[in-house]
Amino acid sequence: MSGKMAFKDFADREQSVQLLQRSLERGRLAHAYLFTGDQLDRLEELALTLARTLNCQQPVRAGGAAIDCCGACLNCRKIEHGNHVDVHWVRPESKSRVILIEQMRELMQEINLKPTEADYKVAIIVAADRLNVNAANAFLKTLEEPPARSVLILLSTEPQRLLETILSRCLRLNFAGEGAGKFEDALVGWLAQFSELAAAEQKSLLGRYRLLDLLARKLGDIRSQVEQSLTARSPLERHEDVDKDLREKWEDELKAAIEAEYRWQRGGVLLALEWWLRDIWLLTLATGRELLRFPRVAGAERVAGRITCKQALENLHVLEQTQRLLHTNVQEALALEVGLLKLHL
């Protein structure tokens, strides 16, 4: 995190920041928030700023209520450096990239204790969409009946992955900026290939299956890289003489970690496709180029020139539905095939 000092330092002062500050001014603090957007580190900065504002010793006030932090008092500095006893962070496990039930149980024990040095206990769950099913279900009771003087802040770049029962119990604020989300050069390069291929005439099934093949090869490369990387770090590679039960346990853990990491990276590829489809939609609206996410990716204008605004919007809905299907038990290849065949290109 870059450590913005206060809400006033967020250059864009977007509507969601203003809405949050107005709710603080009116004394309408929610027990649970869901911050969504395209950049997780930015969401972390916002959550950290809210935690400091709630516990600041010299806050900026409006109508008698704290609406921003000073950034300099002892509480602000402790929260900034991650060593305040009343502010707790939970992140996905580094190996499996999921949040486990043990982590949530420990968090819930902490949150149920009264604040010791501040006004509020604050829990920040980073990448809350990575809660596994058991962890999410265990967390529901706390969401339903949060302890007094506590605030829960969930952060997610993929809110569609969260259980509906969690979504319904949080006040959702979307902090997705118009130019948000930076993708790696390699991914943008692959997207340029996809865009050029899509810009060719796509009325034939052959053209669609060429797109599907390009996507499948990209995902295949990702899975191979993930398997190679995680296998090299597995204790299975360092310890050959272990008993059968322990070996099976490590094998199961490795398999789960590979699948979790692959799905995470697959989500990044689909997010890039979503931004590309959004650009096409903006082009059909004749919206200014300053809103385009991939101005250097050729092909988008040609696609936009032959479909309607309604069709471009339907494309976004199709991709969203495809992403939802991929988080069920449906076969990946089938979900991607159906999705690509439905796109208006």
CA-based torsion, 107, 110, 114, 115: positive or negative: negative
Could you read off the pLDDT of 264-300 as tens digits, one per residue? 788 889 988 988 998 898 888 865 555 666 666 788 8
- Per run of 10 residues, the mean pLDDT along the chain (length 345 residues) is 67 71 88 88 91 95 92 92 92 78 93 91 94 89 90 91 86 68 78 91 80 95 89 75 78 79 84 89 71 72 90 90 82 93 92
Q: Which pLDDT belongs to residue 249?
A: 78
Which domains does the chain possess? 7-174 (3.40.50.300), 185-342 (no CATH)
CA-based torsion, 157, 330, 233, 271: positive or negative: negative
CA-based torsion, 128, 132, 138, 141: positive or negative: positive
The residues facing 284 across adjacent strands are none
